[in-house]
Amino acid sequence: MTALNVSMSPPASSAVRPVDGLVDRKLALWHLVASLVFLGVALLAGFSFSLQFLQKYPFPGIELLSPGRWRLVHTNGVAYGFLANAFLGCLYWAVPRLTGQPVYSRALSWFIFWAWQAIVGVTAVGLILGHAQALEWGETPTYVDPVAFLGLILVAVNFLTPIFRAKGPMYVTLWYFIAAFVWTPLVYAMGNFLAQYLVGGAAGGAIGGLFIHDLVGLFVTPLGWGLMYYFVPIILKKPMWSHGLSLVGFWGLAFFYPLTGIHHFLYSPIPLFLQHGAVITTIAIEFVVTTVIINFFGTLAGRGDALRTSLPIRWFYTGMVFYFTTCLQCSFQTTLTFQRLIHFTDWVVGHAHLVMFGVFGFWLLGSILYLFPRLIGAKAYYSDALNSWHYWLSALGTLIMFTDLLVAGVVQGNLWRNLAPWEESLIASMPFWLIRSVSGTMIIVGNFMFFWNLYKTWQMTVASRQTQPAMPGTSPMPA
Residue 214 or residue 390: which is nearer to other proteins going by CB? 214
Helix axes 172-189, 84-99, angle to 10 degrees: 140
Q: Is 2 in the site for other proteins (CB under 8 A)?
A: no
Nearest Cα to 153, choosing from 183, 123, 120, 119?
Answer: 183
List 117, 142, 268, 403, residue binding other proteins (CB under 8 A): 268
Residues 16-35 that bind other proteins (CB under 8 A): 16-20, 22
By three-state DSSP, how is residue 456 classified? Answer: helix
H/E segment holding residue 55: none
Residues 321-340 that bind other proteins (CB under 8 A): 339-340
List 210, 359, 365, 406, residue binding other proteins (CB under 8 A): 210
Nearest Cα to 305, choosing from 384, 236, 256?
Answer: 236
Q: Is 1 in the site for other proteins (CB under 8 A)?
A: no
Residue 343 or residue 390: which is nearer to other proteins going by CB? 343
Residues 71-110 that bind other proteins (CB under 8 A): 71-72, 97-98, 100
Q: Residue 3 carries which side chain, given as an amino acid letter?
A: A
Residues 278-307 that bind other proteins (CB under 8 A): 278, 280-281, 287, 290, 294
Residue 350 or residue 366: which is nearer to other proteins going by CB? 350
Q: Which stretch binds other proteins (CB under 8 A): 67-75, 112-120, 147-155, 400-408?
A: 67-75
Q: How far is the CB of 87 from other proteins (least distance, A)?
A: 17
By three-state DSSP, how is residue 105 classified? Answer: coil
Residues 343-402 that bind other proteins (CB under 8 A): 343-346, 348-349, 377
Q: How far is the CB of 42 from other proteins (least distance, A)?
A: 15
By three-state DSSP, how is residue 472 classified? Answer: coil
Residues 150-209 that bind other proteins (CB under 8 A): 163-164, 168-173, 175, 178-179, 181-183, 186-187, 190, 194-197, 199-209
Q: Is 60 in the site for other proteins (CB under 8 A)?
A: yes
Q: How far apart are CA 365 and CA 92, in angstroms?
A: 16
The vertex-307 CA angle with 301 and 311, nearest 5°, equals 140
Q: Could you give the C-alpha distances from 8 to 25, 99, 100, 201, in angstroms and in order?
A: 21, 13, 10, 58
Q: How far is C-alpha 21 from the geometric centre of its chain's CA atoms?
A: 28
SS (H, E, C) 248-313: HHHHHHHHHHHHHHHHHHCCCCCCHHHHHHHHHHHHHHHHHHHHHHHHHHHHHCCCCCHHHHCHHH
The answer to whether residues 27 and 109 touch, using CB atoms and an 8 Å cutoff, is yes
Q: How far apart are CA 90 and CA 220, in angstroms?
A: 13
List 58, 118, 143, 251, residue binding other proteins (CB under 8 A): 251
List 66, 109, 333, 447, residue binding other proteins (CB under 8 A): 66
Quickly list H helices, 100-132: 106-129
Q: How far is the CB of 406 from other proteins (least distance, A)?
A: 15
Q: How far is the CB of 20 from other proteins (least distance, A)?
A: 8
Q: How far is the CB of 91 from other proteins (least distance, A)?
A: 16
List 6, 37, 147, 321, residue binding other proteins (CB under 8 A): 6
Residue 153 or residue 445: which is nearer to other proteins going by CB? 153
Q: How far is the CB of 405 from other proteins (least distance, A)?
A: 11
Q: How far apart are CA 27 and CA 159, in angstroms?
A: 14
Residue 115 or residue 284: which is nearer to other proteins going by CB? 284
Q: How far is the CB of 168 from other proteins (least distance, A)?
A: 7
Residue 43 or residue 187: which is nearer to other proteins going by CB? 187
Residues 404-463 that bind other proteins (CB under 8 A): 413, 416-419, 421-423, 426-427
Residues that contact other proteins, how many (by CB under 8 A): 133
Q: Which stretch binds other proteins (CB under 8 A): 106-114, 353-361, 397-405, 471-479?
A: 471-479
Q: Could you give the C-alpha distances from 260 to 206, 333, 334, in angstroms and in order?
A: 10, 13, 10
Q: Which stretch binds other proteins (CB under 8 A): 10-18, 106-114, 303-311, 453-461?
A: 10-18
How many other C-beta atoms lie within 10 A of the C-beta of residue 295?
21
Which phi and psi (to 5°) does residue 120 adopt? -65, -40
List 34, 38, 69, 228, residue binding other proteins (CB under 8 A): 69
Q: Which stretch binds other proteins (CB under 8 A): 103-111, 257-265, 319-327, 456-464?
A: 257-265
Q: Could you give the C-alpha distances from 331 to 106, 279, 298, 325, 345, in angstroms and in order?
A: 43, 8, 23, 10, 17
Q: How far is the CB of 114 from other proteins (least distance, A)?
A: 28
Residue 106 or residue 237: which is nearer to other proteins going by CB? 237
Q: How far apart are CA 119 and CA 309, in angstroms?
A: 39
